[in-house]
Amino acid sequence: MPTYLSLADRIDAILPQTQCTKCGYDGCRPYAEAIAQGQAPINRCPPGGPEGIDALAVLLGTPPLPPDTTCGEHVAPRLAVIDESHCIGCTLCIQTCPVDAIVGANKQMHTVLPDLCTGCDLCVDPCPVDCITMVPDPHAWTQERADVARTNHMRRQQRLSGLHHEPSGLAARTLSNKAPVAASSDPHARKQAIADALARARARRHTT
């Protein structure tokens, strides 16, 4: 096994691997490569917080910087939770999860695997019925969890690349991944399918 680690490798090892894209890059590895190439500052990772900035500063031999709050605020680790009674099975959250921490099938209830969730919150906005919330993670974010998240993200990228023959980052985390609703080439049919799903969700709420 090669023992040499590039600068990007060493930077990536410090980043928390939440794959949240809040830094403006398509995951932790692209951000690490941008830092290594001198194209990005070290203070754009909210999940890493001040400790992460300090660690990067030590590695690079540069002064630490205050966190760039335009990327978001540093918060304690969180987990996504799906209100399964209101889930309409649209699969949009599954498509956006960068580490495959959400399981389910089209028109069936979805659930989050807490051991795999990185708390990136990328699944929240796409949910058409607002049934996903972020809650405190009862466990600390450890290096072991970061390593698992990195591996899961890489596997997802490889799978998407094989399916779509295109870069498997933000562009691939679109409605073209799994949902038949999104795959429809007819915009009217897609709109109607979403409207039908919303109607089912509203009806379900009225009966609960």
Handedness of CA 34, 35, 37, 38 (dihedral sign): positive
* CATH 3.30.70.20 for the 78-140+171-206 domain, yes or no: yes
Q: How far is 6 from 207, CA to CA, in rounded Å?
A: 57
Distance CA 190, CA 169 (A): 23
Q: 133 forms bridges with which residues in the sheet? A: 81
Is the distance from CB of 19 to CB of 99 less than 8 angstroms? yes
Domains of the chain by residue range: 7-71, 78-140+171-206
* pLDDT tens, N- to C-terminus, the chain (208 residues): 455 899 999 999 999 999 999 999 999 999 999 999 999 999 999 999 999 999 999 999 999 999 999 999 999 999 999 998 999 999 999 999 999 999 998 888 999 999 999 999 999 999 999 999 999 999 999 999 999 999 999 999 999 887 755 454 543 444 333 343 443 445 565 556 555 655 555 555 555 5
pTM of the model: 0.79
- DSSP 3-state of 149: helix
CATH of 7-71 given 3.40.50.300, 1.10.15.40, 3.40.47.10, 3.40.50.150: 1.10.15.40
Our measurement of the distance from residue 36's CA atom to the centroid of its chain's CA atoms, rounded to an integer in Å, reads 22
